Chains A and B, each alone.
Chain A
């Protein structure tokens, strides 16, 4: 009750004294789950920045990945709460649109973090990793590392899931483009005809799935020498499968994410290179944008030439190659999450 009175009072104050003080602003962070380290880090970044700017931040999360209902309820709560803006990583990118529209109609700034909505302009702005670029970086690195052998490479593609979520498709296709393989339909994986691709298999993004998928593809062709993985746990699983047949040292594994165990694996030579993304930055930039919006009503603009605001991606490897910019694992460890 007191809280509500204060809220009303602060809105009155805000109306009386423009521009509003940042301290009167409240914001929401809605993530897919609060168990995945990626989102844990995101929350950390948002909380730290919100404290710094004196913003009252409330966090919500789905129970599991794909829990759409909880996210809709969270958006409704935020509207009722009188928040200025919402940072959202949507579980269901198209179904959430109507709830997002409702929030925008109520004057809230909605920023999609990490995962673009479908359509992407359903949110006021999107702060995300360029997943295609992330894939392209490791693709270029792998091709350059192999040199002339790239023409005879045997590539295993360890993807996310059979439903082909956007993030997974972008990374996959980016890798292939970077490696120099002609794409089929860039909106789906698995339709390429290049004989260098041994096959695609799905990992669910975890160790067990990564190992199984790698074993399946090895049974198909034991001479695989390049492995693309959707993320670092899948890469760790693939490495176990290779180790089981004694080929862990002559296969190049590349991955995407930049989590701390993943970067450590790059340092230890398990993974050749990984593209690191920055959930903390996404979140803190998002909070800044909401503060800005609350102060003078300006909305964040997308990065030039892209539909979203690119929060950056960096290739982490201890074996840099010419023509691909990279950072080493020490720097990667400083920037890693989870």
Chain B
């Protein structure tokens, strides 16, 4: 993609170089920047601004329309609770998409990990702490298989994770025999599995541990992506893997680490899922892959890789949550939510394309 850009840009640059000297171009740039250009540049620097603005505006609009019913600590923190699972999964999805990949198996990994946590506790009688660790290992292992197939066997991520999605889901159903482990049994015998369901109440605002985990996870990921060499490599691999390889990035190792981390985060999402729905249910999370991709795209991360920030993903997930709850409170048909989210997705990709056109 990048080399294409360069090829098509060649002739125009030839002309501009012939008519003005490079320094004159720079000067022109500084003094005659239009407002639109400034916005374009600002977004180029901070791609999560768009979703942040959309989030603020939508909260404001629903707040005005619905008043205290929506603008209460209860309702606003409820949105956080409702998006926590998708938020966590979308964080995993983000790092994969930053490498210009895609992970369709996130939901399946999440469910399989939660089933492993539940069944290891109840079928084999392991202490729940050990079972949770087994679940986390299971998720990481699924991620490793994805990463190995993508990085080493060099299969397209879409195909790899499409296959793994089916494989993991089938494994999940075969292994669990589609048995639900009920909430009552879990809270009685292994409350540790519902750890993420615990909550802190601050003046009507309810924060479950799952919500806190989601926020902390996003902050930690944002730090790693921005402030460590690994994070820079993730972006470089997504931008142009060949260039990254030539400039000394261990592309394979970076890709495998990304898919493993994605699997691990999904396993955490599976744990948080137990906290959220109380039970271990092999049929949940069927749409998590699509919903997580939706959050990532609305959050301004480019599906072509290398651009965007994981904070944007959090905002993207929250936007979906705000729209869902706000429209339901307004009494609108649920179809309106899908319609508006569809519009948001297309708008987000259009903005992404526009930002890419930024140049001197």
Task: Determine direct contact between A and B, CB below 8 Å.
Answer: yes
A contact set with B: CB distance below 8 Å = 35-37, 40, 162, 199, 201-202, 204, 206-208, 210-212, 215-217, 219-220, 233, 236-237, 239-240, 243-244, 261, 264-265, 268, 270, 338
B65 CB, min distance to chain A CBs, angstroms:
13
Q: Which of B78, B182, B277 contacts A265 (CB 8 A)?
A: B182
A264 CB, min distance to chain B CBs, angstroms:
6
Does the CB pair A215–B333 fall under 8 Å? no
Q: Which of B70, B279, B324 contacts A236 (CB 8 A)?
A: B279
Interface residues of B in 52-76 (CB under 8 A from A): 69-70, 74-75
Residues in A neighbouring B184, C-beta threshold 8 A: 264-265, 268, 270
Does the CB pair B180–A219 fall under 8 Å? no
Residues in A neighbouring B329, C-beta threshold 8 A: 216, 219-220
Does the CB pair B277–A240 fall under 8 Å? yes
B3 in the interface (beta carbon within 8 A): no
Residues in A neighbouring B284, C-beta threshold 8 A: 206-208
B105 in the interface (beta carbon within 8 A): no
A155 CB, min distance to chain B CBs, angstroms:
15
B contact set with A: CB distance below 8 Å = 69-70, 74-75, 78, 81-82, 85, 173, 178-180, 182-184, 199, 206, 273, 276-279, 281-286, 324-325, 328-329, 331, 333-335
Give A37 to B78 CA distance when docked, in angstroms. Answer: 32
Does the CB pair B334–A202 fall under 8 Å? yes
Known: A233-B180, A264-B182, A265-B182. A216 touches B277 (CB 8 A): no
A279 CB, min distance to chain B CBs, angstroms:
14
Does the CB pair A236–B325 fall under 8 Å? no
B201 CB, min distance to chain A CBs, angstroms:
10
Does the CB pair B182–A219 fall under 8 Å? no
Give A251 to B74 CA distance when docked, in angstroms. Answer: 20
Q: Which of A202, A206, A217, A239 contacts B183 (CB 8 A)?
A: A239
Does the CB pair A35–B173 fall under 8 Å? yes
Does the CB pair A236–B278 fall under 8 Å? yes
Supply 10 further A-B pairs (C-beta < 8 A) apart from A219-B74, A220-B331: A35-B282, A199-B331, A207-B281, A208-B276, A208-B277, A216-B328, A219-B70, A233-B180, A233-B281, A261-B179
Give A208 to B331 CA distance when docked, in angstroms. Answer: 21
Which residue of B is nearest A264, CB measured? Answer: B182
Residues in B neighbouring A220, C-beta threshold 8 A: 69, 328-329, 331
A293 CB, min distance to chain B CBs, angstroms:
32
Residues in A neighbouring B276, C-beta threshold 8 A: 208, 211, 240
Which residue of B is nearest A64, CB measured? Answer: B286
Give A217 to B324 CA distance when docked, in angstroms. Answer: 12
A275 CB, min distance to chain B CBs, angstroms:
19
Give A236 to B329 CA distance when docked, in angstroms. Answer: 22
Does the CB pair A261–B178 fall under 8 Å? no
For this complex, 5 residue pairs linking A to B, each with C-beta atoms less than 8 Å apart, are A36-B178, A207-B277, A216-B329, A220-B331, A237-B278
B265 CB, min distance to chain A CBs, angstroms:
18
Give A227 to B199 CA distance when docked, in angstroms. Answer: 24
Does the CB pair B75–A219 fall under 8 Å? yes
Known: A201-B328, A216-B329, A270-B184. A35 touches B178 (CB 8 A): yes
Give A19 to B279 CA distance when docked, in angstroms. Answer: 53
Give A239 to B178 CA distance when docked, in angstroms. Answer: 21
Q: Which of A40, A208, A217, A268 contacts B273 (CB 8 A)?
A: A208
Residues in B neighbouring A268, C-beta threshold 8 A: 182, 184
B66 CB, min distance to chain A CBs, angstroms:
9
Does the CB pair B82–A212 fall under 8 Å? yes
B8 CB, min distance to chain A CBs, angstroms:
43
Q: Which of A162, A264, A338 contacts B178 (CB 8 A)?
A: A338
Give A243 to B286 CA distance when docked, in angstroms. Answer: 24
Of A35, A217, A233, A265, the most chain B CB neighbours within 10 A belong to A35
B223 CB, min distance to chain A CBs, angstroms:
30
Does the CB pair A216–B278 fall under 8 Å? no
